Chain A
Amino acid sequence: QESAYPQRTAFLLRKQWTLYSVTPLYRFSNAHLRDYARLLSAFIAAEKQKGLAVEIGVELDIKVAVSSLPDLKGSDRDQAAILVQLSLRSPASPKNSEEKLIWSGWFCCVSGDDLSDNVPEDFTCLPLFLANGAESYTSIVGSWFQKTFDCCFRRLALSPLNLSWMAAMWTGCKVDKTASAMELVFSVPCLPHPLDISYAIHPEDAKALWDTVQKTPGEITQEEVDVFMDCLYSHFHRHFKIHLSATKLVKVSTAIASAHCDGIIKFLQSQYLTGVLMLLTELAISQIQ
């Protein structure tokens, strides 16, 4: 599903986002976003000053903005995504103008009916959280949300199985421009020194392979994903005599997006943003249920 306003979500592209799953927020209301920003900025100030003398009456140096991203939805039943941004007021000109964005994070739910259909009205389902910026801020913002809306954040790791699905799905997507190569990174376990194998494939070759594997367009089965990966593995084995199936897939990069098993993702195409988010929402929901 293509986003109607690609420019509104363009700022989410080409950044590394760390993935978290979040349990439903209790008594969260879209009507109070401004108040939340105010409370959160006070919380951040207090947290940052922990261990230091409390300054009194000084203007807070971190500005918090909480806003809604109505475009990021799969269906009307999904909650609008919520964006949290922290920016640093420049000390030179305390009155507005130059604000530097230091951290951003957003909650979203794309086709998360599985979860939202099953919770009472008091709860808001935004099961996927993505953060970019220093982890210390993620920690402060996350704790504030946990305390305020009685939810739990957990890192969302991507298993090799998930990654191979992504590899297959993204291979099949059409991209206008000449796309960059598809790259798969494997890590070899049980070695004294870490060894990573990078496997780059021309996107058109990968697409051609996938087209022979996929039976019904628009539908993907686990079996097809397995066949696709097995083909790639046997090709590699023919050349290098290395069984990639014995290693662990740790990273997938394509023209659509790149994903790392630690739960880090980078979106590259705004037209496929909601599609990728739908998969990630599904993974987040399975982690909290």
Chain B
Amino acid sequence: MQRRQSSRSPKQPLQVHHKNQTDLSICKKGGTTDSEKSTQNHPSPSNQKNDSKQDSLEQALSYFEKVQDHISLKKNSVLQKHLTTVESIALQRGLPPEGFGVLLNVALSGKLADTVNTRLLKTLVPASVIPETSVVSSVSWLCVSKCSGNIQLLFLRWLITVFDFIDHKEQLHALYGFFFSFLQDEKMCPYVCHLLYLLTRKESVKPFRIRRLLDLQAKMGMQAHLQALLSLYKLFCPELVTITLPGKMKTYFKNSEGPWKAAINTVRRRNQGNFLVSQPLFLGTAQPQSRKRKWNTQLVIPASSTNKNNLEEDRKKNCVDLYSTNKVFPVEQLQNFSQLLQNIHHLEFPSQMGSVLTNPLLLHYMNCVKDESVYLRLYYWIGQTLQEECSWCVADNNQYEEEFKDFLETVYKTESFLQEGFSSCEEFLYKSLPLWDGFCCRSQILRLVSWIPLSSFSEMKSHLYDPLAQLFFTSSLYFKCSVLESLKELLQNWLNWHVIHLDLESASQVHSLNTTLSGLVNMVAELIHFVGWISTVALRLENNTTFLLYFILNFYETVCDMYLRYNLPLLIMPPAGVFYPALLSMDSVSLNQLCYIMYRYRTNLVAAKENELSKKKILQFKFSSQTYQEYNQYIIAMVGCLWTSSAFQKDIHPQGLRMDDELLKKTTVKEFKTSFNIVYHPAMMGYAVLFLQQACPYDTTFNFSLIKGKKWNWYLEYLYAQGLKGLKVFIESSINRVSQASHSKAENMQV
């Protein structure tokens, strides 16, 4: 039995009447719902594209449904249009079940020319299943012989090829006699034999049919197809078929699958991600359209199937050792979460670990099982697949970019699901980034970057930062923002990892980490310094664009809160090249964001200082005095700008705003001192104008100096009401308003 088990997929029990002439078994039950789900989940742009395709397909189908008389293809552009629509959609995505009835009816009714009928039949590639009713009605067309012999043949070949896609076969079985009668036709006979071979059950074998076959054999000579059918009959009813048949026949049937097989494979590959049980790993001899010269280079995620490697004695031994149950729950039967929970103790990973990528239940299971070999198997598989399929590292692979994209997407989703990066992906990125053009599979690659695992041994600088920086500086604004976004996510993933492991450690008191805290702090610091550097350069290259500044400040929103939110004893201030462009930005969004960030820095630094002073616990790490110093320099500059109008005098940062009065006078700006306070600041002036319009509706001179005293307070309230929450928390925390009466004499609070 062992041999048989291995040679057939477990879905096909070893019974003769379940003959599948090819391995087209797809997950039919789950098939349609799964594909529906996946289209729902698509983001909107592709959804629209799908919708418009859907519309044109529906139009084409309704056209073919109504077509009445013979129409010439050459003269009729409408027919041409609909025909090409159906062809292109069918070959790309396959046809929905409801399309088959319509198209088969037209093609077999003989209304249109044979060229059209042929083309229509060739488009009949199923996306999921083929309704049995459509096949039955086409058999009735066949019986009235409205269509030509060639079309009949083509139809039969189609039927044989897609046999396993037909949703039910009961009614087809009832038509056994009709098919049998077609045997008379000499041309159709081989194909009809093949079809009958697929349809035959024990009860189909009747003496009169055997006689008829023997007659045909006497008439036509020894034909392989007739022998095949006879040998099957003999197998079912040895007592009825007494003749001896030659023992061996290399090929019983001609290959029927010609025009459809390639398209079916393409469609199946497209939809493959949706099926839990999918196709055999790769090309054997049966699929000559091997897409690459080498075998084993087709990107197919293996199906989950039970490990058959355990020979019987092994299995017994293992089970006794491990769980003392003698039953292993086959992964193919695992359909829902409750099954997973019930069988979690006698579940076994599939024979190919790669299949877990498309199986969320097994990913859950993987999360529970801490088995090194599980990860190692996955490590090898992902690593080798990535290298083999990489669109830009391997010559001639670029035509398979879409597939590779899908694969990267799947890997990224798995990493997000498991909340951890794979080291094989990390290695792949390090190997391939230096060769990357920054364009191919861009968003997928950048997303994978965000899951680079935290390990103290990695050499991020030469492997990641250097190649990324080269691309960063030479690519578009959009690319720069995408890189910043993915580095922000990378930082967050590292910080989350750190928090989780802190919890685990304190819970178990076991040092499971091979990363020390200082290693972690160093890696995080290195990342933040790298982002600070590229941000500074990028702001200059892109003329301080607000869009870019937004992504940079987003990154610092995470950085400024690392101590309190992620319990990491590290705070790093943004470089002056980021701070000053944000402070002097033309846009209130950036200024507001900066205010919020400075407020969070303050909160974190104050908390750190308090902890230090109270000495509740001996801190392994102290913030360097340099951090406090930098913060204080920035806060002086900021308060000097926005509030006390003294930035030009008081800013002590070496790259700051400090300027001699002489120089400032040369600018001939009259009120240069106040020019960056919350009224005159270019990012705020718009608010000031609107405020004045409301506060003094009759004054048309826009006299900003009116905003003082009580109006200054109103103005602040007005700004807060406009949604400048960052400004609010900043002013409330960092500006010590000595007395409510003397507003202009506020002092900045240093930490």
Are A39's CB and B2's CB within 8 A?
yes
Contact partners of B380 in chain A: CB under 8 A: 23-24, 151-152, 288
Taking each of B309, B353, B383, B384, which has the highest tally of chain A beta carbons within 10 Å of its own beta carbon? B309
Are A123's CB and B4's CB within 8 A?
no
Are A143's CB and B282's CB within 8 A?
yes
In the complex, A148 Cα to B311 Cα: how many Å? 11
B310 at the interface (CB under 8 A from A): yes
Shortest CB distance B531–A (Å): 30
Contact partners of A140 in chain B: CB under 8 A: 284-285
Are B285's CB and A42's CB within 8 A?
no
B251 at the interface (CB under 8 A from A): yes
Determine chain B's interface SS by DSSP, over half rule. loop
Shortest CB distance A268–B (Å): 26
B interface residues, Cβ below 8 angstroms from A: 2-4, 6-8, 16, 19, 21-23, 197, 228, 232, 235, 247-249, 251-253, 255, 257, 280-286, 294-296, 302, 305, 307-311, 314, 351-353, 372-373, 376-377, 380-381, 383-385, 387-388
A53 at the interface (CB under 8 A from B): yes
A interface residues, Cβ below 8 angstroms from B: 23-24, 26-27, 29, 32, 35, 38-39, 41-43, 45-48, 50-56, 58, 91, 119-120, 122-123, 135-136, 138-140, 142-143, 146-155, 288
Shortest CB distance A86–B (Å): 13
Contact partners of A122 in chain B: CB under 8 A: 373
In the complex, A41 Cα to B6 Cα: how many Å? 10
Are B257's CB and A139's CB within 8 A?
no
In the complex, A50 Cα to B22 Cα: how many Å? 6
In the complex, A184 Cα to B314 Cα: how many Å? 51
Contact partners of B311 in chain A: CB under 8 A: 32, 35
> Which residue of B has the minimal Cβ distance to A20?
B296
Contact partners of A149 in chain B: CB under 8 A: 309
Apart from A27-B310, A123-B373: 5 A-B pairs, beta carbons within 8 A = A42-B7, A45-B7, A50-B286, A52-B253, A147-B352
In the complex, A150 Cα to B249 Cα: how many Å? 35
Are A46's CB and B8's CB within 8 A?
yes
* Among all A-B residue pairs, the 10 with the closest Cβ atoms: A46-B7, A42-B3, A139-B295, A23-B380, A152-B384, A136-B285, A42-B7, A50-B286, A53-B252, A39-B6
In the complex, A151 Cα to B354 Cα: how many Å? 10
Are A143's CB and B281's CB within 8 A?
yes
In the complex, A121 Cα to B305 Cα: how many Å? 23
Known: A51-B22, A52-B252, A153-B296. A23 touches B373 (CB 8 A): no
Contact partners of A120 in chain B: CB under 8 A: 372-373, 376
Contact partners of B235 in chain A: CB under 8 A: 56
In the complex, A146 Cα to B384 Cα: how many Å? 12
Q: Which of B197, B294, B376 contacts A119 (CB 8 A)?
A: B376
Known: A56-B235, A151-B380. A51 touches B308 (CB 8 A): no
Are A48's CB and B285's CB within 8 A?
yes
In the complex, A140 Cα to B255 Cα: how many Å? 21
For this complex, 24 residue pairs linking A to B, each with C-beta atoms less than 8 Å apart, are A23-B380, A27-B309, A32-B311, A48-B284, A48-B285, A51-B286, A52-B252, A53-B19, A53-B21, A53-B232, A54-B19, A119-B376, A120-B376, A122-B373, A123-B373, A136-B285, A139-B285, A143-B296, A146-B352, A147-B302, A148-B308, A153-B296, A288-B380, A288-B383
Contact partners of B255 in chain A: CB under 8 A: 51
In the complex, A148 Cα to B309 Cα: how many Å? 6
Are B257's CB and A51's CB within 8 A?
yes
